[in-house]
Amino acid sequence: MKSNKPMPKIKAPSPKRLNMIEAAGLRLIADDGVPTGPPPAGMALIPAGSFTMGRTSGDTDINAPPVTVNVSAFYMGKYEVTKEEWDEVKTWGAANGYTDLPTGGGKAADHPVQESNWYAIVKWCNARTEYENVLNGTSLVPCYTVGGATYKTGSSTPDCNWAASGYRHRRSLAVDRWLRHHLHSLA
């Protein structure tokens, strides 16, 4: 359902401020500056900006105070992760220490993956980061760790290294709305 409320005016945050969001299957460039060069294939540059989330942004929790969130510029995938992409990374991951990633659910290989829990998604993000390094010769760093080691198995709550260059999981509905607005304006 599309809201008739105007989107908040976007203004750039301080260049030293790093407030990153999590994104499922998305590579966020966490360098506290504007990413340079063209976006990687299949990605769009999301500009730095700020927005208000909480009671005034449509949050249904009456106790959610309005909070201004600053987001640094980053790259985001233009499309949702497909079942085929999920299963390709899962297959690679199973041979490389990611032994409990579930098979992705979905209607067809080219449909968005579904039916995964948060722990599986963040482990998949780490696996995708390492898989891309192998395929493309890149040196991305997985974001999620437990006890300093890359999070590959289990259901421990991991830490997220916001300065790492790997893929992340999104989690905020307010941030998601803001991103959708900017992706549509970039299409």
Domain boundaries in the chain?
83-163
Count the Cβ atoms, other than its own, within 10 Å of residue 85.
20
Task: State percent of the chain over pLDDT 70.
Answer: 66
**Residue among 77, 71, 175, 182 at smallest CA distance from 132:** 77
Torsion of CA 67, 71, 76, 78, to 10 degrees: 50
In the prediction, which pLDDT does 20 show? 30
In the prediction, which pLDDT does 10 show? 33
- Name the packing angle between helices 118-136 and 83-94 (round to 10°): 80
Q: Answer whether residue 184 shows pLDDT above 70.
A: no
Q: Average pLDDT for residues 89-114, to the nearest whole number?
A: 93
Listed range (13-17, 41-45, 177-181) with the worst mean pLDDT: 13-17
In the prediction, which pLDDT does 91 show? 97
